[in-house]
Structure 1
Amino acid sequence: MSFMQEFREFAIKGNVIDLAVGVIIGSAFGKIVDSVVKDLIMPLVGLVFGRLDFSNLFIALAEAPAGTAPSLEAYRAAGVPVFAYGNFITIALNFLILAFIIFLMIKQINRLKREEPAPAPAAPPEEVVLLREIRDNLRNKS
């Protein structure tokens, strides 16, 4: 079998196609969660903490050139190394929400799966059946 034939067989297997579909849907779902965090949750969290903008929380690790605006984008544009912990908070919250949603989905899928009935017990071997019949016959005669 040639390399291309092997690759074609691998690529058209159901698991590979299912995985590809899962990655595409996961990517789109990740964008939705990013938007939920960035556009809905973080503004509410910022409001609770006094109109704080998490995306602009950082610590400059060097002096900024004179005239640089005190914002994360301006410091990065000026080449100043920054410790952007606000962005990390946003991404960590994004991850937690995504993990929670996946947990709920898996929990629901597992709940909806039908339980397979237990297999019927195997019939006893013929020798056991014959021995039981002999035993029962002997008991009935006594």
Structure 2
Amino acid sequence: MHEFVAAEEILNVALRIAKENGATKILEINVEAGELTFLNQENLSLAFETLSQGTIAEKAKLKVKVKPCRINCHECGYEGDAHYAGPERHDDLEVTKLMLLTCPKCGGKDTEVVGGTEYFIRDITIQ
């Protein structure tokens, strides 16, 4: 469950930022996560809720915006959102998406992932 590790990292960064700014409470944390992080938002929120108990982030809202996977096509030079040559949902085997990336412009399969594998705090609301 890598959501627990991600929640811990998000919490630690938010607590550090809050401390640096003299905050007494964290009200909201806005996170952007690439779709290839495969973070389950429900599990991430549950882990964050558990880890934040007893801290100034307890009861903070954790909002996650999922960003699409971005690719660079070595066949035509396209750079942008990826296209999946397969079923839309891969609930049981998300990693399958990596094997199905194609260029939406030329249909090429010689692609490189250039975005969508990271997550970061976009902003936090403190008091």
**TM-score w.r.t. structure 2 length?**
0.29
User: 1 or 2 for the larger relative contact order (CA 8 Å, sep ≥6)?
Assistant: 2
Q: Considering only CA atoms, is the larger Rg found in Structure 1 or Structure 2?
A: 1
TM-score (norm 1): 0.27
Higher share in strand: 2
